Structure 1
Amino acid sequence: MSKTWFITGTSSGIGRALTQRLLDHGDRVAATLRTVSALDDLAARFGDRLWTAALDVTDTAEVRHVVGRAFAALGRIDVVVNNAGYGLFGAAEEVTDEQIERQFDTNVVGSIQVIRASLPHLRAQGGGRIMQVSSEGGQIAYPNFSLYHASKFAIEGFIESVAQEVAPFGIDFTIVGPGPTKTNFGAGLVSPPPMAIYDDTPVGEMRRAIASGAFPLPGDVDKMADVMIASAERRPAPFRLVLGADSYKRVHHALTQRLAALEAQKDIASSTDTDT
């Protein structure tokens, strides 16, 4: 059965692959991106099944306007995909205040506002699905990505809560956690001038691995898009969707370690309750 999707950040990467594969499957897509002409080839092929609008998710008023236009133009939207985002690549003390604000305005506040703008429409139509494209980096962390990880941990925490708030209205959430993938994500990294003091630290090792191509990128963006599309048919909705074998291993290892550390503190935790 065909569906109608609203997707942010569709000019490249997962957003572009998802848009194209959905159109190939016969679905309708409301695709938003900063430069609409980047989808001219798809518009020529698929006509009115592709609805496009320019959108910078850091502009909250424009987010509300574009989301409202999309629902008005297309009627029911079955799946909203928050995909727009980028990575800030640098040690915590290297990045500027402005870079930190931009990272959170895009990856956190922008995603939150797309969700907030969509909720009244989804409630009115009796439900729907929201997919948040996060990252394995919302569950684990690499050096030199501290602010990027902070943004992904933050948006996942928001969704953990809002999913409970709107479940009674038939609105489901899926957090998508892709690992390193062969897209142009690396080209979009924002990097401050490096400090030499970090050259012989894990930060420097990560920089050299990225620059040399030694950091593996095993993810296949088209296969990831196909899994996301298939997940939209699943009931109940999978709350988390980890993509990539290595990502599964890293997330599993991190969660296992976290659980072991928590269990080791059980007696300490209990000792801090009031005596009754």
Structure 2
Amino acid sequence: MSKIIFITGASKGFGRLWAEALLRRGDKVAATARNTDALKDLVTKYGENVLPLALDVNDRNSVFEAVNKAAKHFGEIDVLINNAGYGLFGTTEETTEAQARQQMETNFFGSLWVIQAILPIFRQQKSGYLIQISSVLGLTTLPLLGLYNASKFAVEGLVETVATETSGLGIHTTLIEPNGYATDWAGASAGQTSADITDYNSIRKAFAESGDNADNWGKPEATVQPVLNLIDNPNPPKRLLFGKVAYNLMHDVYSARLKEIEDWKEVSITAHGH
């Protein structure tokens, strides 16, 4: 049975790949982008099964209008893939106020506005599936991505809370947490802070060298079938890591965290006071 999917950031990267895969198998897609010209070929190929919508997720009113337009056009929305966002590269100290605010506006508040717009529809339907694209950097951090890390940590907390608030309303949620992939996220779509403080040059050099290892970057096409399977699963996970780097990294990170928790157990209990 075909589904109706609302996807933000559908003009490129994961959003574009997944939108086309869904359309190819017969689903209907409300595809959003800042510029809908990037979606014209999808309309040509898939006709009425795709609804292109111009959307800047930073504009809350525009978000509500787009979601409601999609629901009215298709009659319902089964799945939200909340995908819009970008990376901001540079040290925390060198990040300007404007850069920091814009990163949070798009990655966190943009996600929040879409979630707030979709939930009334899901509640009325008594069904719906919210898929939020987060990052493995919403669970642990890398240097030179401080504001991006922070935005994704915030998204993680937001969606986990929504999951607890809506668990009895027929609504499912999943946080997808990819490692780095060879998409536009680290290219033209990315922001960059200044690099004026020479004390950070060694960190910048090590970061650049790690990025040169092609094996660290996942293949975007490999995510298509996992996403389709996830959408079709009646009992989806709350979180799903994408990529072997993410899996291996988080296995080590959580093992170390659990050990530290146990090492400091007595101090933690003492601090309770009774």
Fold similarity call, TM over 0.5: yes
Deviates more, 1:169-178 or 1:200-209: 200-209
Deviates more, 1:116-125 or 1:214-223: 214-223
Contact 2:33/2:54 (8 A) holds in 1: yes
Following superposition, the deviation at residue 68 of structure 1 comes to 0.9
Equivalent residue for 1:96? Answer: 96
* Matching residue of 2:5: 5
CA distance in structure 2 between the partners assigned to 1:32 and 1:198 by the alignment: 41
Q: After the TM superposition, which residues 7-156 of structure 1 pair with which residues of structure 2 at under 5 Å, given as runs? A: 7-156=7-156
Q: How far apart, CA to CA, are the structure 2 residues paired with 1:123 and 1:23?
A: 25
2:261 aligned partner: 262
Q: Tell me the distance in 1 between the aligned counterparts of 2:221 and 2:209.
A: 28
- Offset at 1:231? 0.7
Cα distance between partner residues in 1 of 2:62 and 2:183: 27
Alpha-carbon distance, 1:216 to partner: 4.3
TM-score (norm 1): 0.95
Query: In structure 1, the residue corresponding to 2:192 is in which secondary structure?
Result: coil
Q: Which one-letter code corresponds to 1:186 in the other structure?
A: A
Q: 2:93, 2:241 → 1: CA distance?
A: 30
- Show the counterpart of 1:191: 192
Match of 2:203 in 1: 202
Aligned position for 2:180:
180
Residue identity opposite 2:270 in structure 1: S
> Any conservation in 2 of the 1:209–1:215 contact (CA below 8 Å)?
no
What does residue 228 of structure 1 align with?
A: 227
Distance 1:63 1:78, change over 3 A: same
Residues in 1 aligned to 2:129 and 2:18: alpha-carbon distance in whole angstroms: 15
AA at the equivalent of 2:271? T
Q: Distance in 1 between matches of 2:38 and 2:201?
A: 41
The question of whether the paired residues in 2 share the 8 Å contact of 1:87 and 1:145 is answered with yes
Report whether the alignment pairs 1:251 with 2:257.
no
Task: Say whether 1:169 aligns with 2:172.
Answer: no
Shift of the alpha carbon at 1:135? 0.9
Given that 1:91 and 1:146 are in contact with CA atoms closer than 8 Å, whether structure 2 keeps it comes out as yes
Taking the aligned partners of 1:216 and 1:143, their CA distance within structure 2 comes to 20
Q: Identical aligned pairs, as a percentage? A: 36
d(CA) in 2 for partners of 1:203 and 1:158?
Answer: 31
Cα deviation 1:176-229 (Å, max 9, x = unaligned)? 01111111111121002202424443233214544xx34644312122122111
Structure 1 Cα separation of the partners of residues 259 and 3 of structure 2: 42
Residue identity opposite 1:49 in structure 2: N
CA distance in 1 between counterparts of 2:260 and 2:185 reads 33
For 2:131 and 2:254, how far apart are their aligned partners in 1?
A: 22
- Deviations, residues 78-108 of structure 1 (Å, cap 9, x unaligned): 1101000000101001111001000000000
Q: Give 3-state SS (helix, strand or coil) of 2:167's partner.
A: helix
Q: What TM-score, normalized by structure 2, do the two folds share?
A: 0.96
Equivalent AA in structure 2 for residue 243 of structure 1? F
Letter in 1 for 2:72: A
Q: Is the contact between residue 216 and residue 245 of structure 2 (CA under 8 Å) also seen in structure 1?
A: no
Query: Which stretches in structure 2 are left out of the alignment for 5+ residues?
Result: none
Instruction: Determine the C-alpha separation between the residues in 2 that align with 1:153 and 1:202.
Output: 22
1:118-162 deviation per Cα after TM superposition (whole angstroms, max 9, x unaligned) = 000001011110000011111121110011000001100111111
Please say if residues 198 and 204 of structure 1, whose CA atoms lie closer than 8 Å, have aligned partners that are also in contact.
no
2:66 alignment partner AA: V
